[in-house]
Amino acid sequence: MSNSIERDRNRGVSRREFITDVGIAVAGAAVVPAAAEAFMRQQAISVTKSIKLFNGKDLSGLYTWLRKLGKNNDPNNVFTVNNGVMRISGEIYGGIITNQDYENYRCLIEFRWGEKMWQKGARDSGLCLHCRGEDGGFRGDWPENIEFQIYEGATGDFILLHGKQGVSVTVEGEMRGDKLFHYVPGKPATERAMIKDGKPTGITYIIPHLNRDPAWRSELGFRGKDTAEAPVGEWNTIEAVCDGGAITNIVNGRTVNKATNVDPRRGRICIQSEGAELFVRRWELLPL
């Protein structure tokens, strides 16, 4: 997630407001397709067996959302599948999103960066967890969510992408000279909330992970001195452990970030298209 998001205005509508507005009738009445879809999303699946979100063949069980193009409208082929690998070109901001809500799971992704770039700076993408509300609720690009950052030199950061309801986490950590609240286990636990009592808090939305290089900068090919990331072109494995109110971020077997008291605690799951070519060969949910 690039720092430009601070300059954009939020235009989100919460799922709760959406469902109320369309007036879903749950017993014996006709339900419009959009309302039925929103209602079904409330029925989150608690994962008890392996679920392959990407089947290696096509995009079944998923849908696309692209800025200004909307749902399942991908004329530039931002999302394609070939030889068991999903390619996300990054050309247009948006994401590939699960149809279903999930809770209580381990989400594993195997990815590698490509060479194609559509913007300056480091290669950028993200795993959006607990997505809720309308598609494009944050800036027209993604639903409101808690993001597991996939970003050169910063993979494992939390990014709080808020809509009208706001998202919040509690993290052990400290403020540092870069004016960001960094995850440091053992430090006092602090709530990081984007909206409190219906009003924006103005906090920094980035929570850097434990091993992020203090000299990190958004620069193509940046690698920190203690990074857990593989070099560009090699495969990485990231894992988000979503256990009730906790999310733990793991990069290539190393725990790099953790939040508790998260809100929301369930929702859709999304991989972003965000300016850089990304290849995914595994996207799977496993039980806790």
What residues does each domain of the chain span?
A: 3-286
By three-state DSSP, how is residue 5 classified?
helix
Task: Give per-residue pLDDT as tens, 104-124.
Answer: 999 999 999 999 999 999 999
Tens-digit pLDDT profile for residues 209-245? 999 999 999 999 999 999 999 999 999 999 999 999 9
- Give the amino acid at 266: R
For 149, 217, 283, the CA distances from 132, given in Å and listed in that order, are 18, 30, 20
pLDDT at 5: 39
CB 275 within 8 A of CB 139: no
Domain 3-286 has CATH 3.30.160.620: no
And the tokens for 20? 């109320």
Q: Is 16 helix (H, G, I), strand (E, B) or coil?
A: helix
Four-residue CA torsion sign, 259, 264, 267, 268 = negative
Q: Which residues contact 175 (CB under 8 A, 6 or more apart)?
A: 181, 182
Structure tokens at 245: 């109110």
The model's pLDDT over 175-197, given as tens digits with 9 standing for 90+, comes to 999 999 999 999 999 999 988 88
- Single out the residue of 283, 278, 285, 265 nearest to residue 131, CA to CA: 265
